[in-house]
Structure 1
Amino acid sequence: MVSTIQNSDVKQKDADRAVVVAVTSRAVFESGGDDGDDVSGEGVAFPLLQALQKVNERLLKENPAESLLFDVVLITTDSQQQQQSSRIISSTRHYGLEVSRFCFSSEEDFIESLLKNNVQLFLTTDGNEARRASQEGVLSALLDQQMAFCPSEQLRVMICGDAVVRPDAGLMSRQAAQSFSAQLGEMRQRFGMSDSPLSFVLVTSRGGRESCGEALLTLRSRGVSVDEAYCLAGAPRGPILSLLRPHFLLSDGGDGGLEE
């Protein structure tokens, strides 16, 4: 069973234009704590929500009528956190996080909550959840502890150039990735080359400069211009990840993660 609570403290986004991002509450807030506590501690995805919110704030500053905005949905499948739903909602209010809806479901039904909310990107710390969502055509990314050190003032999205050049995902996952990246590309165009709250980093792990160039041309054909590009030519991805600190890895393969 899926239960959805709309956040009355937040102005709801335009359903036809908003980019819906769902994040698991266990990634945003730490589990546990005393039952008397009204506020949970910050989780690994906390800087991500702040960065998404910063993009929205800048978009609305540029154009108060802007409708292409991030629409954040908090998904809770953890049984312990479901029993503390009021704490999750009050924690969101306490930190001033712009969450539009709270969805509570079982592990078996969380896919239903993603589909009902037209989620375009699902972010979780659970690899099994990421794979299941990807199999249903929902673009997913796996989050890890590195995210706790990501900047909150700028949303940094890493794009896997190898997946762009040689996609190996199913048709639904590939279309979901292309659609989402095109929407982010449109957002990025709202800002100048410097002082942007949204940044794209392209990384190709395999091949040489030709593969990187091909990926750049493919992304540009989708309306996506990258801020930085790196051709690793077979070198491990870990060092560049620790240096660039992206919030998540976007690939046509679905359950992308930050780990090497």
Structure 2
Amino acid sequence: MTPFTIAVSSCALFRQENGETALGVAYPLVKALKMVNQSMSEMDPTVEEWFKIVVIPTNMDHFKKSVENYNLKIEIACEKPILEHLEEIKPILFLSTNAQNVREAISAGYGAATMFQQDYDEHSDEELRVAFDGDGVLFSDESEKVTAKKGLEAFCQNERDKEDTSLALGPLSMFFKALVQLQKSHKKSPIRTYLVTSRGTTSPGIRALKTLKENNLEINEAFFLCGAHKGPVLKAINPHIFFDDQKKHVALQNRVIGAHVPYGVRNK
């Protein structure tokens, strides 16, 4: 099996504190992905790694020293323009603290998100937990366009009218598909996925679930919050990463690691 490539900028993996290098906000996810590799290889020794992690350096000399200090066994890409990196390695996900690089990646058709260097709670070492917003992340922004143009009432009517019509998939769907594939390949897969969306439980929620089902995408848990604050739910889940297309939802609420997906009408 060809491994799924995850690209991480060194500025997300490490941060500067009082002149010293510390582990950055992307480290819990990278650590969890490596745990998945180890766990899955024990179940299936024929596959060396399920996720290939490639770190794209922003400062090569400083980065190599940081990797050595933390004894991280990861592949290091050479320095070149970001889109050249992505075209070469073709990742299913690219993470960076550089918002411009992430926007370029999204525009080029890659699943990507901007991370923010802040403090966060400790995470599970036994399970990879990934949480996704729906519209603009797992799904396209087609319904959000209705809201932006005509308002919430029109959105609700649109979802009632199209309850049986699947939404187009969004920019993080390839990463989600990879997680689902690994879960299905081994019943004891150490991966758990979550949908945390502002959609309600009636037609908007039903349409989201039908979209996942029709694409053979199983989610472990789904939270339909009807517009309520996402912080308490995310605090309880404590995912290694939560993806949302609105910055206000990914500001590390309650010390939860969030990543902004600059896609769709909300980011014009």
Interval of TM-score (by shorter of Structure 1 and Structure 2):
0.7 to 0.9
> Residue 258 of structure 1 is aligned with which of 238, 243, 250?
250
Q: 1:257 Cα shift?
A: 7.0
What is the RMSD computed on CA atoms of the aligned residues? 3.1
| Whole-Å separation in 2 of the counterparts to 1:26 and 1:210 | 41
| Whole-Å separation in 2 of the counterparts to 1:196 and 1:174 | 24
> Residue 70 of structure 1 is aligned with which of 32, 51, 63?
51
> Residue 121 of structure 1 is aligned with which of 88, 93, 97?
93
Q: 1:18 Cα shift?
A: 1.3
Give the aligned partner of residue 3 of structure 1: none
SS of match in other structure, 2:68: helix
Q: 1:133 Cα shift?
A: 1.1
- Pairing 1:61-100 to 2, within 5 Å after superposition: 61-66=42-47, 69-77=50-58, 81-91=59-69, 94-95=70-71, 97-100=72-75
**Structure 2 unaligned regions, length at least 5:** 145-167, 254-268
Residues 131-187 of structure 1: CA deviation (Å, up to 9, x unaligned): 121111111122234674251522211122234455349xxx956533332222101
Normalising by structure 1, report the TM-score.
0.73
Give the aligned partner of residue 24 of structure 1: 9
| Whole-Å separation in 1 of the counterparts to 2:34 and 2:235 | 23
In structure 2, relative to structure 1, the CA distance for the partners of 1:48 and 1:177 (3 Å cut) is closer
| Whole-Å separation in 1 of the counterparts to 2:48 and 2:170 | 22
SS of match in other structure, 1:59: helix
| Whole-Å separation in 1 of the counterparts to 2:49 and 2:216 | 15
Normalising by structure 2, report the TM-score.
0.71
In structure 2, relative to structure 1, the CA distance for the partners of 1:133 and 1:232 (3 Å cut) is same
SS of match in other structure, 1:130: helix
Give the aligned partner of residue 177 of structure 2: 182
Q: 1:56 Cα shift?
A: 0.8
| Whole-Å separation in 1 of the counterparts to 2:189 and 2:26 | 21
Give the aligned partner of residue 115 of structure 2: 143
Letter aligned with residue 108 of structure 2: E
| Whole-Å separation in 1 of the counterparts to 2:171 and 2:140 | 16
In structure 2, relative to structure 1, the CA distance for the partners of 1:219 and 1:130 (3 Å cut) is same
Letter aligned with residue 179 of structure 2: L
Residues 184-229 of structure 1: CA deviation (Å, up to 9, x unaligned): 210111343xx64211001221333432232223223333221211
| Whole-Å separation in 1 of the counterparts to 2:183 and 2:248 | 21
SS of match in other structure, 1:65: coil
State how many pairs are aligned.
226
| Whole-Å separation in 2 of the counterparts to 1:256 and 1:187 | 31
Letter aligned with residue 60 of structure 2: Q
In structure 2, relative to structure 1, the CA distance for the partners of 1:148 and 1:102 (3 Å cut) is farther
Give the aligned partner of residue 246 of structure 1: 239
Give the aligned partner of residue 141 of structure 2: 167
Letter aligned with residue 167 of structure 1: D
**Structure 1 unaligned regions, length at least 5:** 1-13
Letter aligned with residue 87 of structure 2: L
The sequence identity of aligned pairs, in percent, is: 28
| Whole-Å separation in 2 of the counterparts to 1:66 and 1:248 | 25
